[in-house]
Amino acid sequence: MVAQDPVQDSLPLAQQPPLPTAPLRRIYERPSTTCSKPQRVKQNSESERRSPSSEDDRDERESRAEIQNAEDYNEIFQPKNSISRTPPRRSEPFPAPPEDDTATAKEAAKPSPAMDTQFPVPNLEVLSWPQVITSTPVPKAEPAIIPAARNEPIGLKASDFLPAVKIPQQTELVDEDAMSQIRKGHDTMCVVLTSRHKNLDTVRAMWTTGDIKTSVDSAVAINDLSVVVDLLNIVNQKASLWKLDLCTTILPQIEKLLQSKYESYVQTGCTSLKLILQRFLPLITDILAAPPSVGVDISREERLHKCRLCYKQLKSISGLVKSKSGLSGRHGSAFRELHLLMASLD
């Protein structure tokens, strides 16, 4: 216990000297504090867990649209025109049940005017139903010229290679008739080939005698262009076989070949005509342009007669060649070449 001085005790407090004290000590310890924010977050999470639909209810209340004026809403959103069905539905009344009285049944049988105006009954006579388009087979057009090289049947007619015979009118075919027609076609082709073989044997017999003119005359007398074509295909390979008297016999047949629908016939006719024009046309024009000789010359008269006959036939063929020179393809080029060779006839 510290003893106080009696003198100091008698002095007033304001005049008392300060007591000697120890030096002040600094405290660096942080006082403990508590935070209330986590508790608030925890309380909020617990409240959300208790009422999860509170925010949804609030959003629904905020997004709910209230129609203030029903007339404006109907004018904007209600459709102006009604779309009718095709065909429109008929408004038929619903039959009344049997236990109802007669007056109620009559009222139920009357159609409502709203239904009539909304779904008018169409006139069945005015309605046009779509027409059903049926596909009809288009008949295949026969080609103008039948090609020589072909890989499929072209529909050759055997009657073209036989003498003209009047055929009675055919009726509708059944299976047996169709089979008989097929067999008949086979038999007809066999007859055609047999006849051609026989005719070629006749021409060959004349050919072996060494008289080319006689063999050509016999081929022309047979009146079969196929035999003439077979013979010309041999003569065209040997230009030395051509004579002026042979031209007078071949030129009418060449005109028929140029008008044929078979490509092989046309090609053979063009080849033969080209050989005649190249070898004999200058000779024909020179003999016809030469002045008459003095005296009698039988050989010259015969030559002049043959030249006049050939010139007449060539003039007849030139019109046909000129008309076909405008064709396209191989035939057109062949006819144009012949037309140039025949330019001296004009």
Contacts of 87 (CB under 8 A, 6+ apart): 122, 127
- What is the amino acid identity at position 227? V
Among 78, 88, 75, 80, residue whose Cα is nearest residue 115: 88
What's the rounded mean pLDDT across residues 320-340?
A: 87
Q: Rounded to whole angstroms, how far apart are CA atoms 124 and 67? A: 46
306, 245 contact by CB (below 8 A): yes
Higher-pLDDT residue of 26, 145:
145
DSSP code of residue 159: G
- Given this model, what pLDDT does residue 269 score? 93
What's the rounded mean pLDDT across residues 136-160?
A: 64
- Given this model, what pLDDT does residue 199 score? 92
Query: Which tokens belong to 16?
Result: 């008392």
Residue 325 sits at the vertex; the CA angle it makes with 324 and 327, to the nearest 5 degrees, is 75
Query: Which tokens belong to 140?
Result: 């295949």
Check pLDDT > 50 for residue 130. Answer: yes
DSSP secondary structure string for all residues of 192-234:
HHHHHHHHHHHHHHHHTTT-HHHHHHHHHHHT-HHHHHHHHHH
Q: Rounded to whole angstroms, how far apart are CA atoms 217 and 227? A: 12
Torsion of CA 174, 177, 178, 183, to 10 degrees: 170
Instruction: Give per-residue pLDDT as tens, 60-102.
Output: 665 556 667 777 777 777 766 666 656 656 656 656 666 655 5
- What average pLDDT is seen over the chain? 73
DSSP secondary structure string for all residues of 84-116:
PPSSPPP--PPPPPTTS-HHHHHHHHSPPHHHH
DSSP code of residue 293: P
- Given this model, what pLDDT does residue 76 score? 76
Whether residue 87 is preceded by a cis peptide bond, meaning omega within 30 degrees of 0, is: yes
- In our burial notation (b when 16+ CB lie closer than 10 A, e otherwise), range 131-146 reads eeeeeeeeeeeeeeeb
Higher-pLDDT residue of 22, 150:
150
Among 95, 113, 115, 114, residue whose Cα is nearest residue 105: 95
Check pLDDT > 80 for residue 209. Answer: yes
In this prediction, what percent of the chain has a pLDDT beyond 70?
54
What is the pLDDT confidence band of residue 331, given thresholds at 50, 70 and 90? confident
332, 326 contact by CB (below 8 A): yes
Q: Rounded to whole angstroms, how far apart are CA atoms 197 and 227? A: 9
- Given this model, what pLDDT does residue 252 score? 93
What is the pLDDT confidence band of residue 256, given thresholds at 50, 70 and 90? very high
234, 205 contact by CB (below 8 A): no
Check pLDDT > 90 for residue 270. Answer: yes
Check pLDDT > 60 for residue 152. Answer: yes
- Given this model, what pLDDT does residue 294 score? 77
Among 319, 242, 253, residue whose Cα is nearest residue 281: 242
Check pLDDT > 50 for residue 126. Answer: no
